Amino acid sequence: MSPRAITVTGYVVIGAAALLVEVVARRPGSRVPTFSQLLSHVIHEKWGRVGMLLAWWWLGFHFLSRS
């Protein structure tokens, strides 16, 4: 297995795990928050809101302008 394949596999595994957590969070009675609930909670804290905005801004700059 090439180093590139290993690196890509790592991203796929992390993405699949995130999908799994989201599915578990959406089951009735689950105590795990969904990704949306987690972000909503973070955003309602002042510094969480600032951090989320800066992260959003950086993502656009990095992926759309610099990558």
Binding residues for another protein (CB under 8 A): 2-4, 7-8, 10-11, 14, 17-18, 21, 24, 31-33, 35, 37-41, 43-44, 49-50, 52-54, 56-57, 59-67
Q: Minimum CB separation from another protein for residue 28, in Å?
A: 15
Rg (CA), the chain: 16
Tell me the closest approach of the beta carbon of residue 49 to another protein, in angstroms: 7
**Alpha carbon separation from 38 to 16, 42, 46, 61 (Å, rounded):** 18, 6, 15, 24
| C-beta separation of 32 from 25 below 8 A | yes
Q: Closest distance between another protein and the C-beta of residue 65, in Å?
A: 4
